[in-house]
Amino acid sequence: MFPINRFIRSFFKFLAAIVSVFLPISAFASPPIGVLDDTHAAIRAVMAVQGEVTPDLMRQPEILGTAVGVDAAGTPVLTVYVDRDAANAGEVIRSLPRDVRGAGVQVHLTDKFRAMAKPPWAGGGGHSVSHTAKQTPPIQLGTSGGWSKDLANGYCCGGTLGSLVKIGSTQYILSNYHVFESDIVSGGNNTVATTGDPIIQPGLIDVNCNKNNAQTVGTLVKKSSLPNSNVDCSIAQISSGMVRTDGAILEIGTISSSTVSAAINQAVKKSGRTTGLSHSAVSGLNATVSVTYDAVSF
């Protein structure tokens, strides 16, 4: 029979050997970096630097904005967006520091950021689901729409009715300021956007500038988000029976009512009037960029 005391001594020697093997592994293994969102310490450190340097950087017209991104090794860095069409882009890039207070700096050459990436007449084509056609109510969002009076001097506009939001017990369509209410000066159409104005689907641009070929799906609630708050958004209270109350979006469906923080490399998709359904991933957080609206920038 194997003596119990000898067994115990042998067992603890064996256990000690196992522990001596695994302790160095656990002691020197790098912990997982975690989700790179705006709560991550490394992201917040770069955000602090970004907040200090961005105003001065963007005084240079060649610099279109900044964000918190990651380098090839996955380390959070300050991303600086430089206009690829600027005549002296190379000079601007060479003048940028390699790091600021320990935060690395990387340059991203890019086209100008525009409110519409394609000409307004190039929307909705090439997709299995039309994002510009007039829908049978209640409509899904991610579709063409806009302010019913958005025309002047032979031109008309439109954009995307983005998503459904609820404030208190009231449901609203969320879109852009430049789609719903940017007409703040009485010009060629002799009117300005006002609370209560009809919001239509499709937008005028997709019904030959004739609002009678569209349908009213909501009424504008003017918030004047630009230029003071630097957020391009606007809302319209939905008209009864005209918008799906579950907030369904074309080619996406009903989305969760719970929101999550954006994170680096997070998969995202968008349903819009001009692009249809598109997919991408988050490459930068806390971005501050100059957006061109025809002849005006915000």
* Res 24 pLDDT > 60: no
HEC profile of 32-89: CCCCCECCCHHHHHHHHHHHHHHHHHCCCCCEEEEEEEECCCCCEEEEEEEECCCCCH
What 3-state DSSP class applies to 198?
strand
* Res 253 pLDDT > 70: yes
Same domain, 270 and 182: yes
* Interior/surface letters 60-81, b for 16+ CB within 10 angstroms, e for the rest: bebbbbbbbbbeeeeebbbbbb
Question: What is the residue type of 248?
Answer: A
pLDDT tens for 75-104 read 999 999 999 999 999 999 999 999 999 999
Residue 239, C-beta contacts closer than 8 angstroms, at least 6 positions apart: 216, 217, 218, 219
Residue 143: the pLDDT is 97
Of 91, 111, 131, the one marking the end of a domain is 111
CATH at 103: 3.30.300.50
Does some domain include residue 2?
yes
Same domain, 47 and 26: no
- Other residues' Cβ atoms within 10 Å of the Cβ of residue 244: 18
Same domain, 272 and 125: yes
CA 211 remoteness from chain centre: 30
Residues of the domain holding 165: 120-279
Does some domain include residue 294?
no
pLDDT tens for 113-172 read 987 544 444 444 455 799 999 999 999 999 999 999 998 878 899 999 999 999 999 999
Same domain, 138 and 168: yes
Of 71, 89, 111, the one marking the end of a domain is 111
pLDDT tens for 211-227 read 999 999 999 999 998 88
Residue 27: the pLDDT is 31
Question: Residue written as tokens 């809302």?
Answer: 235
Same domain, 50 and 141: no
Of 89, 111, 133, the one marking the end of a domain is 111
Same domain, 237 and 137: yes
pLDDT tens for 172-208 read 999 999 999 988 777 777 888 999 999 999 999 999 9
Does some domain include residue 211?
yes
